[in-house]
Amino acid sequence: MIIGCALLIIVTLLAGIRFYLGPTFGDRVLVFDLLTSVMIGGTVLYAIYFDRKEIVSLVLVLAILSFVGTAALAYYLEQRTESDE
């Protein structure tokens, strides 16, 4: 449990650095997707630690919102690059 939390914190810090330094919008979209995955992982760790089975539905909702958000940002990015050409 401690190792999982430590790894999630390290990944969050590295992703934050990448988000800050990322020169393109695509880099920031990728970091957004990574951070939502980290949030899902943190929620799963919470559910395991406190033995809360009802949180699994929250994890499913977070995963669906993450997918939809990433797909929407990718669509926006594609439309923006097509209009730039």
pLDDT tens track for 10-45: 999 999 999 999 888 888 888 989 999 999 999 999
Residue with tokens 């914190």: 9
Judge whether 8 and 46 are in contact, CB under 8 Å.
Answer: no
What is the structure's pLDDT at 36?
92
CA atoms within 13 A on the CB side of 33: 14
Task: Express each pLDDT in 37-68 by its tens digit.
Answer: 999 999 999 999 999 999 989 999 999 999 99
Judge whether 52 and 11 are in contact, CB under 8 Å.
Answer: no
pTM for this predicted structure: 0.83
Distance CA 23, CA 36 (A): 20
Give domain limits for the chain.
1-84
